[in-house]
A and B are shown apart, each in its own frame.
Chain A
Amino acid sequence: MSTATDTKRKAPAGEKVADWADGRLGIYSLAKANMRKIFPDHWSFMLGEICLYSFIIIILTGVYLTLFFHPSMNEVVYHGPYEPMQGIRMSEAYASTLDISFDVRGGLLVRQIHHWAALIFLAGMFVHMMRVFFTGAFRKPREINWLFGFLLFVLGMFTGFTGYSLPDDLLSGTGVRFTQGAILAMPVIGTYISMFLFGGEFPGGDFVARFYSIHILLLPGIMLGLLVGHLILVFYHKHTQFAGPGRTNKNVVGMPLLPVYMAKAGGFFFLVFGVIAVIAGIASINPIWAIGPYRPDQVSTGAQPDWYMGFAEGLIRVMPGWEINLWGHTLVLGVLIPLTLFGVILGAIAVYPFIESWVTGDKREHHILDRPRNAPTRTAFGVAWITVYFIGLVGGGNDLWATHFHLSLNAISWFVRIFFFAGPVIAFVVTKRICLGLQRRDKEKVLHGRESGLIKRLPHGEFVEVHEPLAPAQLHTLTAHEQYKPVEIGPLVDENGVKRKVSVVQKLRAKLSKGYYGENNQIAKPTAEEYKEITSGHGHH
């Protein structure tokens, strides 16, 4: 990039390297757009970073584990350093996991970092997804990135599942058996898929090797691609921001990548890694040595999947055992319905952005985040969804709830059966009420100022609390949100008295729109006239 005027200047070494790279990669143009890219600051924006960093940690530790793990189901008799397992028959996969835990110095730490990071990765994605959902960050232009993130979450679940199945221990083997039983329930193709997946009858001698390539290559490969795409889109769209003074839909306010976010985000990687390393040092996870090698005729009590599979586990546990036998075939509804629900419930949150944009008919870009209270119906839907998820999670641990809280197992199952339906409805109504209440409070605050805590006695003896008017910045922030008007279908007969055709879809949309934005479903935000009227008649608080 030297020009005629500065050819005589001796470029420093770093610049020379950069020049070399620029001539081949065009890094200067790249850096021009991105080096000082502005990122807004908010604590909730770091949730996605936790996911990114735990994914990197998982890859680093995972590569290390592959150096010692033998993905083989060949039977061996254990003669290693772990005394209780001496002479016990087990698969090579299990034996090598014992070796990683007891023979390889630091192997146990890396194994535990890997597993802890996986749990944190999934938990991080869940919370990050909820942050994006409740603030409306999924709106145009970010719908595709929402789907990328959703796919990462779902693939993460299956990568986790195939990963914890690899040691071929009694607990994970039981989980694989459950999966195989669920596959068998699929109409027509179930037995075929099971035979093809396991190379014959369960458990066979193939699934560890097959899960291994799925776990370390296929799924993480896809996820890496999605992750890169996710990040590129974050850069391309520029980050969303909350409303506030100086923040508009046409700008992004914050601090530059170099140096602030380079240090903050880069440092955050080390913080996440450090915390996970400490957890892995003090808290054991998946102690396969205490569980024993897998045998299809043995099982331990209190068997639980990793947390992110608990919701599916709950659905399967509380479902009544319906089976339909007709014409020599069996439709295993008791397993099939939970499996379908699992997909439907996850799918519902995935398609939500498209439903909302259809209801609003809004095709504009949105870069200003909503406060959850200002989108009461969306927020209520999200809380209802989380409620279903956690009710399922309770069902997945019904035995642990029963033993830890001295409850009846049957009662818990019935609780889950009832509240699987009632829970989200209650959550929806309550959440919406709370949101509307908070909207009213905001309105009150804007129009009457904030409570100062000062009590004033008026000449005629009345006590009032002094309210202080808000600063312009606060006034702006609290009134900056958009409010839609409900879609009207219009009169069903035109001016000539002829019936107008209104499709069912249009009617549905009008109904939904009313549910979202109709009277009583959002509190009209204060107008300038209201404000002026109240503030001009000062006498009252």
Chain B
Amino acid sequence: MSSQEIPEENLPAEQDAAHGAVEGAGDPFADPGLPAHKPRIQDIDERAANRSERAVAFMFTLSMLATVGFIASYVIFPVDKIVYIFPFGHVSALNFSLGLTLGVALFAIGAGAVHWARTLMSDVEVADDRHAIAAEPEVKAKVLADFAAGAEESAFGRRKLIRNTMFGALALVPLAGVVLLRDLGPLPEKKLRSTLWAKGKQLINMNTMEPLRPEDVVVGSLTFAMPEGLEEDAHDFQVQIAKAALMIIRIEPDNIKDKREREWAHEGIVAFSKICTHVGCPISLYEQQTHHVLCPCHQSTFDLSDGARVIFGPAGHALPQLRIGVNSEGNLEALGDFEEPVGPAFWERG
């Protein structure tokens, strides 16, 4: 990426030098220099300056009053008082008054300071010189010489054994910190491949917390279910429901296009994982006529009448189906776990 081959004269003229072909006084574009200072009204009229002073003082006073108002609001309004304020609607009286008073208390200080700066402080423009960021050659030479002296005195370059072992030690010691991170979590192993579902587990309706019966599931309804034995106050409830959540719908068996789906269903009742195969949002929007479900996060759309294949959106594969049947009590039960991992795809999924 060297640019050595671009000669200096190829670059445009420095901006501070006269530009254009004509030099010096003949250049119509020459820098005329800083314009003369134009006095403001406050610079020439003492009364105007006094008005500015009063305006600034007014704003600072307003700030003081607003702070008092802030403290008063804090004391007066109960935390749960809701009031109607046009056009904001029903709002917390405390939050509204605290926000407004604090806002004014702060804003008035700022407005006062800025007005002070703009009207009363000198607005004469001053030019300050810049100095090159890079050091002068003498400074650089001195630094390089110092460095060479220091390096020489350390014998860093000469005693290679010290250098190499030091690099080795410094390279290894951070490993201690890396090793300490090991217990941040368990290894993945097969954890993502299984859920709580197993042969014989009943489907529990998440609305009623009762076992689902086939007659509970009517065409056009969407029911959410979880495996029997999973309690909401269990310590791992969130982890388990994140994988086991189920969507149950009923489709006329003749309308099921996918052969395997029909086989895994019970009288047209099909159970699919509720967890989107894209990045894991729960799917919740069901279109009764078409049996399409839509993930509200990224709009992946699955056709539940055709093996839950993806018909739109960023999901990469169909929703896993749970094989279900009916047990001796007439309740819906799982006939095993999902045959493939639920939720988003991952490297080991295969």
Contacts and interface: CB of A to CB of B under 8 A. Distances in A.
A200 B188 CA distance: 8
Interface string B221-244: 000101000001101001101110
B350 A248 contact: no
Contact of A277 (B99, B186, B310, B350): B99
A180 B345 CA distance: 11
Given A528-B28, A532-B28, A187 B347 contact: yes
A286 interface: no
Contact of B347 (A181, A191, A205, A480): A191
Given A253-B125, A267-B113, A278-B107, 14 more contacts: A177-B242, A181-B279, A182-B279, A196-B185, A246-B31, A249-B130, A273-B106, A297-B226, A317-B298, A334-B314, A399-B296, A475-B29, A485-B10, A531-B28
B235 to A, nearest CB: 8
A158 interface: no
Interface string A14-36: 00000000000000000000000
Contacts of B107: 270-271, 273-275, 277-278
A141 B133 CA distance: 7
A367 B25 CA distance: 25
Contact of A323 (B186, B224, B317): B317
A472 interface: yes
B339 to A, nearest CB: 15
Contacts of A236: 133
A530 to B, nearest CB: 9
Contact of B242 (A184, A296, A331): A296
A306 B128 CA distance: 43
B28 to A, nearest CB: 5
B59 to A, nearest CB: 10
Interface string A243-283: 10110111111111001110110111111111111111111
A105 B100 CA distance: 15
Contacts of B238: 203-205, 294-296
Nearest to B283: A299
A252 B285 contact: no
Given A281-B102, A317-B299, A325 B30 contact: no
A329 B346 CA distance: 8
Given A246-B35, A274-B107, A297-B245, A332 B344 contact: yes
Given A251-B128, A321-B316, A528-B29, A365 B133 contact: yes
Most chain A CB neighbours (cut-off 10 Å) among B1, B5, B79? B79
Contacts of B242: 177, 201-203, 296-297
Contact of B187 (A195, A260, A295): A195
Contacts of A446: 29
30 contacts: A75-B233, A109-B102, A112-B99, A177-B279, A178-B298, A181-B280, A184-B347, A188-B347, A196-B185, A202-B239, A204-B185, A246-B34, A253-B127, A255-B121, A267-B113, A270-B110, A278-B99, A281-B98, A282-B88, A299-B282, A320-B314, A321-B317, A328-B350, A329-B349, A332-B316, A332-B345, A364-B11, A368-B15, A399-B299, A487-B6
B280 A202 contact: yes
Interface string B198-212: 000000001000000
Contacts of B217: none
Interface in A310-341: 316-323, 325, 328-335
A526 B109 CA distance: 48
Interface of B: 1, 3, 5-6, 10-16, 19-22, 26-35, 74, 79-80, 88, 91-92, 94-100, 102-114, 116-118, 121-130, 132-133, 181, 184-188, 191-192, 206, 224, 226, 232-233, 235, 238-239, 241-243, 245, 274-275, 278-282, 284-285, 296-300, 310, 312-317, 343-350
A330 B343 CA distance: 13
A361 B10 CA distance: 9
Contacts of A238: 128, 130
A413 B271 CA distance: 29
A261 B232 CA distance: 59
B345 A323 contact: yes
Given A281-B102, A282-B96, A271 B345 contact: no
Given A528-B28, A531-B28, A260 B19 contact: no
Contacts of A410: 312
Nearest to A485: B10
Nearest to B206: A297
Contacts of A505: 1
Nearest to A412: B299
Contacts of B239: 200-204
Interface of A: 37-38, 75, 81, 89, 102-106, 108-109, 112, 141, 174, 177-178, 180-182, 184-192, 194-206, 236-238, 243, 245-246, 248-256, 259-261, 263-264, 266-284, 294-303, 316-323, 325, 328-335, 358, 360-365, 367-368, 398-399, 409-410, 413, 446, 472-473, 475-476, 479-485, 487, 505-506, 526-529, 531-532, 535
B314 A319 contact: yes
Most chain A CB neighbours (cut-off 10 Å) among B21, B92, B102, B116? B102
A182 B316 CA distance: 13
B296 A301 contact: yes
Contact of B280 (A180, A186, A260): A180
Nearest to A173: B238
A318 B314 contact: yes
Contact of A475 (B28, B112, B121, B281): B28
A385 B129 CA distance: 36
Contact of A37 (B106, B128, B343): B128
B257 to A, nearest CB: 20
Contact of A178 (B11, B32, B281): B281
Nearest to A473: B32
A409 B80 contact: no
B111 A196 contact: no
Contacts of A109: 95, 98-99, 102
Nearest to B19: A479
A180 B98 CA distance: 39
Contacts of A472: 28, 30, 32
A264 B107 CA distance: 13
B282 A358 contact: no
B186 A184 contact: no
Contacts of B278: 181, 321, 334-335
A443 to B, nearest CB: 12
Given A201-B242, A472-B32, A260 B122 contact: yes
Contacts of B300: 321
A195 B124 CA distance: 62
